[in-house]
Structure 1
């Protein structure tokens, strides 16, 4: 291109950087899509929920390490000390998480979920061995639930509900949903529902932690995990799909 053919600087329209809300929306939406929530791939609610849970592999990775710890700890409880065999219980739990991680690596599937689970399981095991208290195996879960619950609640308080940010990215709408009062109200209630789920886990499980009831604590952790997560995903998915504008195929 010759010098005369070059456009004048005044003709150039500078690209505006994405807003903070759009950046957060893109990050959350990408995470949701990696977790299996992709409207372009799943037409049914059941398929979306199943994908979000990771299928049978995801369910086993989520449940088995905790279940193994609770069962082994319970059956090895000493009547005098009221403590189970921590090395055995924790060793099997960490071992299962390691097996799941290796299986993902060998299958060349995304190992992020299994690696995250392995790191969390190993860190909790080290803390538990250090303190010698079985209930400390669940401490990191309390912080995780508290952080997620606080994030959803704060997003509602500042009028940027996280469900809206995620849905906006997945549906390719950015933050335009905020102009629709009905959608903004539904996304707000959905975000409050998620915050309530995370805080409910703390309300129910923390008293058992302080009471040192490892068996009841571990059992409720499993019950309040996927069995509550799946219905919340289903309700959220149905609401978002019902509110999404109809598009030409």
Structure 2
């Protein structure tokens, strides 16, 4: 199904701009409901396969392990963490594969490490993640509650119906609950990790960040994919074969 194009005589609305941005990001991640991929393949694509898992887990895991073994000097654990993110980015660039995920991880790791070095506190390495969870969770939850679910906007763009889903009670309800679920996931991370940050429990904070990362993200992707596919069933393929 084709992507809706805004009329040439008018400026695109905010929902169209947001939908284009979110839908484009979802499509690049392999989350296009118009495709016939299996749920397993979609989830695997969304997390980036084994490379995505390593890029997501290893820098944080290295920091937690090294900080637990030897908290001082702090630059050792931070340096290894950022170094691993840099290696992943270089490998992607050398292999000419899409580097956006690794570059994003490198920038995030560098910013977090810089903040931790500046304050001298290991827990500050997790501040960007806390901010991200707060921002994403609030935006997704509020958008769902006011009837403009960011998930619905992205799916509407991908399926070529824009915001027409808002006139369908079934779709509107589904996107409401998907938005609540995703918002709750991010805010639950914040609720669990923020007290540990304030208490300076770096090892526990880092461990729970890993546990509440991909192990929770992957099932949510699967549920979202299944719900969206149920809302937008694919038309049956015509059987053009003939019998002798």
Report the TM-score when normalising by structure 2.
Answer: 0.90
Q: Which residue of 1 aligns with 2:146?
A: 158
* 1-structure distance, mates of 2:14, 2:201: 44
Counterpart of 1:56 (choices 50, 58, 70) is 50
Runs of 5+ unmatched residues, structure 2: 1-6, 238-244
Q: CA deviation at 1:155?
A: 0.7
Q: CA deviation at 1:89?
A: 0.5
1:234 correspondence with 2:222:
yes
RMSD: 1.6
Q: CA deviation at 1:84?
A: 4.0
| 8 Å Cα contact 1:61-1:114 kept in structure 2 | yes
* 2-structure distance, mates of 1:42, 1:215: 42
Q: CA deviation at 1:23?
A: 2.1
Q: Which residue of 2 aligns with 1:31?
A: 25
Q: Could you list the per-position Cα deviations for residues 129-185 of structure 1 after superposition, in whole angstroms to 9, with x for gaps in the alignment?
A: 111111010001011111101110221232111111111112222111111101100
Matching of residues 237-248 of structure 1 within 5 Å: 237-247=225-235
Q: Which residue of 2 aligns with 1:106?
A: 94
Q: Which residue of 1 aligns with 2:132?
A: 144
Counterpart of 2:74 (choices 77, 86, 91) is 86
Runs of 5+ unmatched residues, structure 1: 1-12, 77-82
* 1-structure distance, mates of 2:104, 2:14: 27
1:198 correspondence with 2:192:
no
| 8 Å Cα contact 1:101-1:114 kept in structure 2 | yes
* 2-structure distance, mates of 1:219, 1:103: 26
| 8 Å Cα contact 1:61-1:100 kept in structure 2 | yes
Q: CA deviation at 1:45?
A: 0.6
Structure showing greater radius of gyration is 1
Q: Which residue of 2 aligns with 1:8?
A: none
Q: Which residue of 2 aligns with 1:216?
A: 204
Q: Which residue of 2 aligns with 1:19?
A: 13
Number of positions where the alignment pairs a residue of Structure 1 with one of Structure 2: 231
1:178 correspondence with 2:172:
no
Q: Which residue of 2 aligns with 1:70?
A: 64
Q: Which residue of 2 aligns with 1:135?
A: 123
Q: CA deviation at 1:226?
A: 0.4
